Structure 1
Amino acid sequence: MTPALRLTDLHSYYGKSHILQGVTLEVGQGEIVTLLGRNGAGKSTTLKTAVGLITPRQGRVELAGRDMTGQPAHRIAAAGLSLVPEDRGIFQLLTVEENLRIAEKRGSPWSLGDIYRIFPRLEERRKNGGGQLSGGEQQMLSIARALLNGPKVLMLDEPVEGLAPIIVEEIVAQIRLIREAGVPILLVEQNLAVCSQLADRHYILELGRIMHCASADEFRSDPDTIDRYLGVKA
């Protein structure tokens, strides 16, 4: 089966700095895959390169077998690759419902009713301004806006960073529901407990190179590799 997303031998630069040095990974249909690594490893650069915010000097980006390499970001987004950035990117002065309605895409399989089913907090806060939401609620709104675009693959950059444990649990449950609805997910996240709960497979990135790939079971049973590349005891 053709992977939902395949990145092959990506090389990306910031100015003269060679950040991605041959990144290759894939996300299968119905999978949650995590991209792990220390700060500065190139995780966010990988997501930005995939979605066209950075143009790779070498390599290939394929979405459901379609070559998207070098396409502008708006075309890649329209083709179905959605990135929820670390800064969330919601409209602070618009209400929750206004934020959602301007994200609706004709032909998307996701409706406002679907969003409120997965994110009941957003329905409760639908008349509140985006700037009045807690950090966790803003994260939910950012993910919900991406879903309304009908993504073929959803990429999440640090979705639970800095959030209270009870909100983390809520977002983990919501990510599971999104995957159950058939949306493959590429997840960048520092919280290893969250990654272990969610992911089918894990990639570890170090200095712009994929150094390790493992299934969920292999990852859990290999604390030495986790400590070597991520600097934490499992």
Structure 2
Amino acid sequence: MNTDFILKVENIHSFYGKSHILQGLSINIAAGEVVTLLGRNGAGKSTTLKSIVGVVRPQQGTVIFQGDNVAGLPAYKIASRGICLVPENRGIFKLLTVEENLTMAARRESAWGLADIYRIFPRLKERRKNGGGQLSGGEQQMLAIGRALMTHPKVMMLDEPVEGLAPVIVDEIVAQLKLIKATGMSIILVEQNLEVCTQLADRHYIIEQGRVVYAASNADFLADDNAKDRYLGVNLVA
């Protein structure tokens, strides 16, 4: 694996009002790597993604993307450089068709075109003339991921992509994310479903009270029942 980090988050502190959410958090991701951010609800996982992409501006620390510190830049400038967040609410335009949702996000320089999206997400090709509001939850998630790819991301961040979806749809989305990973896409994944995380990730971070308290490779994490029980209150059965 390429050990050059495409993204390095160093000692960031982020707030919601007076609430100090991220308290010196540091993570990194290599080109082509998938990392997960794990932790209990309220630990700061989603805030980490929002701080990276500029929706929340860190009050301290750096976000080094391809050698430049982007912390403090407006969110649209960070997005234009190639960091894309697929939010938990998906943000689908319900009155536009699937194809309109996809093409409105397309960037001229993107390596991803409609044919690529439809190859990975055949359901979207079948539903391309349907309105976004007519899709199931799983199809909306596929559309949100496909639309993100059309923006030509170098790092794609996913916030709870399989939450509330039926197991058969979860399996389908995991298979699709594996295809995206195989293209060399760097992915940061926030997800409560540990089985999904361990199928996809190269490394894991566990966040607690706005700090990284544990970091390990996928293999080491799978073998570390103590960490899963201590920090997550679960024990993953293979």
Alpha-carbon displacement from aligned partner over 1:75-129 (angstroms, at most 9, x marks no partner): 0000000000000001000000010110101111111100000000000000100
TM value normalised by structure 1: 0.99
2:114 to 112, 115, 132: 112
CA shift, 1:40, in A, is 0.2
- Greater shift, 63-72 or 118-127, is seen at 63-72
* 2:212 aligned residue (210, 220, 223): 210
2:227 aligned counterpart, secondary structure: helix
Match of 2:146 in 1: 144
Number of residue pairs matched by the alignment: 234
Tell me what 1:98 maps to: 100
The residue aligned with 2:36 is 34
- Residue 56 (structure 2) aligned to one of 54, 57, 68: 54
Counterpart for residue 223 of structure 1: 225
Pick one of 196, 199, 207 that aligns with 1:197: 199
What's the RMSD between the two structures over aligned residues? 0.7
In the TM superposition, what is the alpha-carbon distance from 1:162 to its structure 2 partner? Answer: 0.4
Greater displacement, 39-48 / 1-10? 1-10
Q: Distance in 2 between matches of 1:52 and 1:89?
A: 17
Q: Per-residue displacement from partner, 1:161-181 (whole Å, max 9, x unpaired)? A: 000001000100111111111
Which residue identity lines up with residue 141 of structure 1 in the other structure? L
Instruction: Look up the equivalent residue of 1:122 and give its one-letter code.
Output: L
SS of match in other structure, 1:186: strand
CA contact (8 A) 1:2 1:65 kept: no
Alignment equivalent of 1:121, drawn from 123, 136, 148 = 123
**Superposed displacement of residue 4, structure 1:** 1.6
1:172 aligns with 2:193: no
Q: Cα offset for 1:62?
A: 1.3
- TM-score, scaled relative to structure 2: 0.97
Contact 1:2 1:64 in 2 (8 A): no
Distance in 1, Cα, partners of 2:222 & 2:184: 25
Q: What aligned pairs does 1:13-92 form with structure 2 within 5 A after superposition?
A: 13-92=15-94
CA contact (8 A) 1:84 1:157 kept: yes
Contact in 2 for aligned 1:3/1:65 (Cα 8 Å): no
**Which residue type is aligned with residue 79 of structure 1?**
R
1:10, 1:24 within 8 Å by CA — same for their partners in 2?
Answer: yes
User: How far apart are the structure 2 equivalents of 1:207 and 1:142?
Assistant: 29
Q: Which amino acid aligns with 1:226?
A: K
CA distance in 2, matches of 1:232, 1:226: 6
Deviation at 1:67, TM superposition (A): 1.4
Deviation at 1:2, TM superposition (A): 3.0
| Aligned mates of 2:91, 2:219 — CA distance in 1 | 35
Gaps of at least 5 residues in structure 1 are: none
Q: In structure 1, what is the Cα distance between the partners aligned to 2:182 and 2:223?
A: 26
- The answer to whether structure 1 residue 185 and structure 2 residue 192 are counterparts is no
Gapped regions of structure 2 (runs ≥ 5): none
